[in-house]
């Protein structure tokens, strides 16, 4: 393979050529209620060629690997059309030429686990949720494992082979009061790791079911402005979705006025606010030993002491801004070209504690985990998975329909306490951008407290 | 593909192969002009196999190893769920106009020219904006065969434009966007594609403070998705079987205002989801889901239909709620082209009828809220204040909340007389409803 790839690159008429070949194996087990809803086993083999010619990009994607040279020619031809129609020319920041092979060793390799064991495990969790109460009307128990091997080569001489494992478990429960009200409870884990992660989750299955039941009794939150404490999961989703995407340099090129707001050194929060994107943490689903441009992983402080410290880059955005590539060029699969993406993104520990930050909140909301969220520039909106009232400095009753929304920059300035209990984690979802979804990432934070958050309710 | 079916026939009771060859040609412009052209040649197969009454599934893009594909499906079938599913062998009635050789032959240069014309048209009207345009040619060749005699194939070609225009001032960003899909490039007129976006940009020049309370809201065709989302889920035969739909058991009942109707029509060639057979080889049909407010039917794929003791409505698709179909996912009960009934008022009439309320064109985070119960809860992305029947300006930081079942039964003010395709597959008029919970920051 190496010889064929090298030869196809050598024959290219483009100024820069790269080839990425990807092989992946995937198994998915999904139980819904009593049904084994999905059991699938997939293999993927595909490739992508990206060519830069006279400063324009052209791309060719294919499943049939026999015509590699033909696809190099096609990508170069597309690049020439782009170059002829545009004035600005792409310049790639220089990076070291690397030849490396990154193999992983898993504690309990899921590839060696029979499919039957995976089905039985998911089924047992499903049984626990169903058995919790007659009011449990639906379940969503999903096990997914994926093993990926990518080969990357470019015309500068880099040649990299790396393996990326990924395993997730989602334990979802829906409870109904029989009168039309339906509420959910969800627990999940995700890791670049082995089968051991998903074993021994019986207690979590029970927690998911119990929460769905408890949510039936929860009262709707009162809409309005509240002091809110976010748990590490929700705070992590917030910092990734609402802030992290602004640090992606390609986004800023497409939004020049936004780029002005995101000037390095600008103060966005208090001196104890620090935000990091890190290409490798043990077991992190966002891990990329080398990104999809063959750049070695980095650790980038997006916010340091409250001020914007660095953006994240691909070779193209770094080349344009005179910055160094940060190892953040990622593609969700061989069907796509790499774009600037986050990896493992988190708020670093502060000095407060959950106890301290809740103590002097007379009335507020403790919001936990996210069911979904979206941002449109500086406006964001997130649904908390569940939440509690805070009354006189203590966690009170469970409340429902907690959707937080607001303006990112005002919200960052309104963070007035950062805990010391950082947790970074993944899950079955992933990040979406530019039609490329779901890309495995992790997010995290310690508990944080924010003043004056708008919460929708009825 | 024949190799897979023949190999499977020897090992399993029933087998079904779905084979997709997809040619895509996306051309992308960003704020600075043409940024990239891609040529994609995707080919993959999915195999469903029933062995000893159990269902197995595998997919692959490595067609050089048919035996591995069969083995994987058989392996999953060993632990698969018991099923009494029968793959269909019906004759397929083709749809005219679903494939045009001229569309398949479109060149990158032709798409580039259309993209440039769209950009020029917008910049001629307003200069302080960033424009993102993507154009794409899609040619799907789908072939399906099963051991019950099905052997169907269809080529579906289309061309699409997606447009996003952003006006950014210090601390304020306003984005409007649209997606247009057509079977032929000649149906994508620059004036049509840019008209709505330019209109919204003009309405949104000034921002005004928003009211709060229980207010009337006019949803533009694009905005209606916030309101329709819970219904899309609630009308699924699968939601009904799972006991998650409040519509369960209500066939024949007046569950919506008598002016409201919904039809799923996969035979409508102008809709992006058109096809003469679904992704399970079931001939497609026009399915009336709601007629004059009365619930008529739910939509089903083969499995959910079998469980419910009814026929599949030809809604077994390998895709999510708003499309994105490929060969990978197993078929699920999914809507094709959803057509919402129109009324007799223009969008302007509906706006003029509102004393104090909102015009909503877009929300953030579709699918937020307790959808099964019918609740939606969204921050608006593009919304405008209406006072005494006139648009006063754009509002920001506003949350909308309501229950779609309640609003469309008790609080429907009116439906627009013209429907637009939203995301190419939802044919929606403007919809005005009262009593929407509006919370402004």
How high is the pLDDT of residue A184?
A: 93
Determine the residue of chain B that is closest to A401 in CA distance: B369
User: Could you tell me if A360 lies within 8 Å of chain B, comparing CB atoms?
Assistant: no
Structure token digits, residue A72: 């190099």
How high is the pLDDT of residue A60?
A: 98
Q: What is the mean pLDDT of residues B369-390?
A: 92
| pTM across the whole model | 0.87
Tell me which residue in B75, B108, B369 faces A41 most closely, judged by beta carbons: B75
Strand residue runs (E) in A155-223: 159-176, 182-191, 219-220
User: Could you tell me if A403 lies within 8 Å of chain B, comparing CB atoms?
Assistant: yes
In angstroms, the CA B218 to CA B212 distance is: 15
User: Could you tell me if B370 lies within 8 Å of chain A, comparing CB atoms?
Assistant: yes
Cβ under 8 Å to B: A residues 12-51: 32-33, 35-46
Using alpha carbons, select from A431, A429, A364 the residue that is nearest to residue A402.
A364
Interface mutation vs chain A, best among B22, B25, B35, most A CBs within 10 Å: B35
Give the gap in angstroms from C-alpha A71 to the nearest C-alpha of chain B: 9
- For residue B305, count CB atoms less than 10 angstroms from its CB and return exposed for 0-12, middle for 13-18, buried for 19 or more: buried
Interface mutation vs chain B, best among A376, A383, A399, most B CBs within 10 Å: A376
How high is the pLDDT of residue A371?
A: 85
Q: Do A58 and B75 touch (CB under 8 A)?
A: no
Q: Lowest-pLDDT range, A177-181, B141-145, B149-153, B368-372?
A: B368-372
Q: Do A40 and B378 touch (CB under 8 A)?
A: no
User: Could you tell me if B30 lies within 8 Å of chain A, comparing CB atoms?
Assistant: yes
Q: What is the pLDDT of residues B261-284, one digit of tens each?
A: 999 999 999 999 999 999 999 999
Judging contacts by C-beta atoms under 8 Å, the chain B residues touching residue A260 are 170
Phi and psi torsions of B363, nearest 5°: -125, 160
Q: Hey, is A163 helix, strand or coil? A: strand
Phi and psi torsions of A235, nearest 5°: -65, -35
Q: What is the mean pLDDT of residues B249-263?
A: 98
User: Could you tell me if A266 lies within 8 Å of chain B, comparing CB atoms?
Assistant: no
Using alpha carbons, select from A389, A372, A350 the residue that is nearest to residue A427.
A372
What is residue A218's DSSP assignment?
P
Using alpha carbons, select from A434, A255, A275 the residue that is nearest to residue A340.
A434
Tell me which residue in A86, A255, A457 faces B33 most closely, judged by beta carbons: A86
CB-based contacts of B155, cutoff 8 Å, min separation 6: B98, B99, B104, B139, B140, B141, B142
Cβ under 8 Å to B: A residues 135-174: 137-138, 174
User: Could you tell me if A113 lies within 8 Å of chain B, comparing CB atoms?
Assistant: no
In angstroms, the CA B233 to CA B254 distance is: 18
Judging contacts by C-beta atoms under 8 Å, the chain B residues touching residue A63 are 41-44, 61-63
Q: Do B439 and A39 touch (CB under 8 A)?
A: no
Q: Do B40 and A401 touch (CB under 8 A)?
A: no
Q: Do A253 and B330 touch (CB under 8 A)?
A: no
Tell me which residue in A40, A58, A254 faces B37 most closely, judged by beta carbons: A58
Decide: A334 and A322 in contact? Cβ < 8 Å.
no
Cβ under 8 Å to A: B residues 214-253: 242-244, 246
Instruction: Give yes or no for residue B324 having a pLDDT over 80.
Output: no
How high is the pLDDT of residue A458?
A: 44
Interface mutation vs chain A, best among B79, B330, B435, most A CBs within 10 Å: B79
Cβ under 8 Å to A: B residues 109-168: 109, 112, 116, 130, 132, 166, 168
How high is the pLDDT of residue B410?
A: 98
Q: Do B377 and A378 touch (CB under 8 A)?
A: no
DSSP bridge partners of B437:
B214, B401
Binned at pLDDT 50, 70 and 90, residue B10 comes out as: confident
Structure token digits, residue B267: 């035979």
In angstroms, the CA B436 to CA B397 distance is: 16
Provide the 10 A C-beta neighbour count for residue B288: 15
- For residue B110, count CB atoms less than 10 angstroms from its CB and return exposed for 0-12, middle for 13-18, buried for 19 or more: middle
Q: Lowest-pLDDT range, A137-146, A292-301, B31-40, B285-294?
A: B31-40
Instruction: Give this complex's ipTM.
Output: 0.84
Q: Do A454 and B37 touch (CB under 8 A)?
A: no
Tell me which residue in B76, B328, B373 faces A39 most closely, judged by beta carbons: B76
Determine the residue of chain A that is closest to B324 in CA distance: A435
Q: Do B60 and A43 touch (CB under 8 A)?
A: yes
Judging contacts by C-beta atoms under 8 Å, the chain B residues touching residue A31 are none
Q: Delineate the domains of chain B, giving CATH numbers in brackets.
A: 2-203 (3.30.2290.10), 207-441 (no CATH)
Q: Do A57 and B35 touch (CB under 8 A)?
A: yes
In angstroms, the CA B423 to CA B404 distance is: 20
How high is the pLDDT of residue B322?
A: 53
β pairing state of A99-102 and A159-176:
parallel
Give the gap in angstroms from C-alpha A84 to the nearest C-alpha of chain B: 10
User: Could you tell me if A372 lies within 8 Å of chain B, comparing CB atoms?
Assistant: yes
pLDDT by position in tens, chain A (length 458): 899 999 999 999 999 999 999 999 999 999 999 888 888 889 999 999 999 999 999 999 999 999 999 999 999 999 999 999 988 789 999 999 999 999 999 999 999 999 999 999 999 999 999 999 999 999 999 999 999 999 999 999 999 999 999 999 999 999 999 888 889 999 999 999 999 999 999 999 999 999 999 999 999 999 899 999 999 999 999 999 999 999 999 999 877 778 989 999 999 999 999 999 999 999 999 999 999 999 999 999 999 999 999 999 999 999 999 999 999 999 999 999 999 999 999 999 999 999 999 999 999 999 999 987 778 788 898 999 999 999 999 999 999 989 999 999 999 999 999 999 999 999 998 898 888 989 999 999 999 999 999 997 54
Q: What is the mean pLDDT of residues B147-159?
A: 95
- How long, in residues, is chain B? 441
Decide: B298 and B236 in contact? Cβ < 8 Å.
yes
Q: What is the pLDDT of residues B205-240, one digit of tens each?
A: 999 999 999 999 999 999 999 999 999 999 999 999
How high is the pLDDT of residue B170?
A: 64
Rounded to a whole number of angstroms, the distance between the first and last alpha carbons of chain A is 61
Q: What is the mean pLDDT of residues B141-163?
A: 95
Judging contacts by C-beta atoms under 8 Å, the chain B residues touching residue A253 are 30-32
Strand residue runs (E) in A204-333: 219-220, 224-230, 275-278, 299-304, 307-308, 329-330
Phi and psi torsions of B388, nearest 5°: 45, 45
Give the gap in angstroms from C-alpha A282 to the nearest C-alpha of chain B: 30
Alpha-helix residue ranges (DSSP H) falling in A2-106: 2-10, 68-85
């Amino acid at each position: 393979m190496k010889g064929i790839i090298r030869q196809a690159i050598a024959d290219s008429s483009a100024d820069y050529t790269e080839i990425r070949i990807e092989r992946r194996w995937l198994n998915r087990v999904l139980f819904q209620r009593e049904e084994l809803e999905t059991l699938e086993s997939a293999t993927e083999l595909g490739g992508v060629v990206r060519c830069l010619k006279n400063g324009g990009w052209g791309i060719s994607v294919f499943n049939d690997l026999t015509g590699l040279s033909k696809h190099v020619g096609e990508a170069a031809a597309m690049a020439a059309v782009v170059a002829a129609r545009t004035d600005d020319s792409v310049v790639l920041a220089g990076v070291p030429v690397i030849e490396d092979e990154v193999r992983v060793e898993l504690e309990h390799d899921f590839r060696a686990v029979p499919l039957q064991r995976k089905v039985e495990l998911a089924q047992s969790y499903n049984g626990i949720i169903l058995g919790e109460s007659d009011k449990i009307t639906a379940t969503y128990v999903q096990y997914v494992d994926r093993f990926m091997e990518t080969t990357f080569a470019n015309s500068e001489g880099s040649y990299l082979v790396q393996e990326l494992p990924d395993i997730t478990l989602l334990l979802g429960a829906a409870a109904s009061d029989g009168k039309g009200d339906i509420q959910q409870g969800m627990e999940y884990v995700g890791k670049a790791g082995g089968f051991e992660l998903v074993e021994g989750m019986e207690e979590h299955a029970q927690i998911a079911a119990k929460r769905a039941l408890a949510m039936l009794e929860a009262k709707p939150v009162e809409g309005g402005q509240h002091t809110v404490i976010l748990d590490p999961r929700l705070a992590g989703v917030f910092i990734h979705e609402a802030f992290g995407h602004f640090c992606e340099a390609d986004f800023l090129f497409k939004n020049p006025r936004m780029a002005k707001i995101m000037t390095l050194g600008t103060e966005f929060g208090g001196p104890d606010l620090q935000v990091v994107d890190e290409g490798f943490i043990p077991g992190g689903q966002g891990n990329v030993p080398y990104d999809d441009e063959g750049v070695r992983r980095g650790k980038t402080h997006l916010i340091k002491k409250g001020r914007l410290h660095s953006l994240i880059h691909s070779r193209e955005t770094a080349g344009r801004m005179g910055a160094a590539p940060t190892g953040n060029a990622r593609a969700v699969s061989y069907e796509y070209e790499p774009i600037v993406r986050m990896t493992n993104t988190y708020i670093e520990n502060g000095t407060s504690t959950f106890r301290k930050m809740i103590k002097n909140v007379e009335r507020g909301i403790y919001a936990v985990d996210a069911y979904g969220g979206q941002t449109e520039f500086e406006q964001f909106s997130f649904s908390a998975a569940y939440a509690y009232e805070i009354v006189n400095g203590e966690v009170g009753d469970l409340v429902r329909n907690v959707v937080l929304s607001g303006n990112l920059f005002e919200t960052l300035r309104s963070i007035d306490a950062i805990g010391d209990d950082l947790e970074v984690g993944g899950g079955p979802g992933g990040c979406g951008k530019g039609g490329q979804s779901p890309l495995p990432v992790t997010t995290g934070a310690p508990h944080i407290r924010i003043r004056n958050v708008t919460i929708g309710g009825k | 593909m024949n190799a897979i079916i023949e190999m499977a026939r020897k090992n399993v009771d029933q087998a079904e192969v779905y084979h997709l060859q997809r040619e895509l040609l996306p051309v992308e412009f960003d704020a600075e002009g043409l940024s990239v052209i891609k040529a994609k040649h995707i080919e993959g197969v999915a195999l469903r196999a029933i062995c000893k009454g159990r269902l197995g599934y595998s997919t692959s893009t490595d067609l050089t190893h048919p035996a591995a594909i069969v083995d994987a499906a058989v392996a999953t079938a060993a632990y698969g769920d018991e099923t009494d599913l029968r793959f269909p062998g019906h004759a397929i009635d083709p749809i005219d106009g679903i494939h045009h050789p001229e569309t398949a032959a479109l060149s990158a240069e032709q798409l580039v020219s259309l993209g440039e014309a769209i950009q020029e048209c917008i910049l001629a009207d307003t200069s302080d904006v960033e424009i993102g345009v993507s154009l794409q040619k899609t040619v799907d060749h789908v072939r399906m065969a099963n051991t019950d005699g099905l052997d169907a194939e269809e080529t579906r070609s289309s061309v699409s434009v997606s447009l996003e225009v952003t006006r950014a001032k210090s601390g304020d960003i306003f984005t409007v966007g649209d997606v247009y899909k057509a079977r032929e490039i000649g149906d994508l007129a620059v004036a049509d594609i840019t008209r709505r976006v330019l209109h919204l940009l003009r309405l949104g020049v000034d921002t005004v403070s928003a009211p709060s309370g229980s207010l009337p809201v006019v949803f533009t065709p694009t905005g209606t998705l916030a309101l329709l989302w819970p219904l899309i889920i609630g009308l699924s035969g699968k939601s009904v079987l799972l006991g998650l739909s409040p519509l369960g058991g209500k066939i024949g009942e007046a569950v919506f205002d008598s002016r409201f109707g919904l039809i799923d029509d996969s035979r409508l060639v102008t809709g992006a989801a058109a096809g003469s057979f679904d992704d399970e080889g079931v001939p497609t049909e026009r399915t009336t889901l709601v007629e004059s407010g009365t619930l008529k039917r739910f939509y089903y794929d083969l499995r959910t239909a079998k469980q419910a003791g009814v026929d599949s409505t030809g809604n077994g698709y390998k895709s999510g709620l708003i499309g994105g179909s490929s060969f990978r996912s197993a078929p699920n009960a999914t809507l094709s082209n959803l057509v919402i009934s129109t009324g007799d008022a223009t969008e302007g009439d509906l706006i003029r009828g509102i004393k104090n309320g909102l015009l909503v064109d877009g929300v953030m985070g579709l699918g937020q809220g307790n959808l099964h119960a019918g609740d939606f809860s969204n921050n608006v992305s593009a919304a405008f204040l209406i006072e005494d029947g006139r648009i006063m300006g754009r509002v920001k930081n506003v949350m909308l909340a309501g229950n779609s079942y309640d609003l469309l039964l008790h609080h429907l003010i009116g439906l627009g007389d013209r429907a637009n395709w939203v995301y190419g597959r939802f044919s929606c008029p403007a919809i005005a409803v009262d009593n929407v919970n509006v919370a402004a920051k």
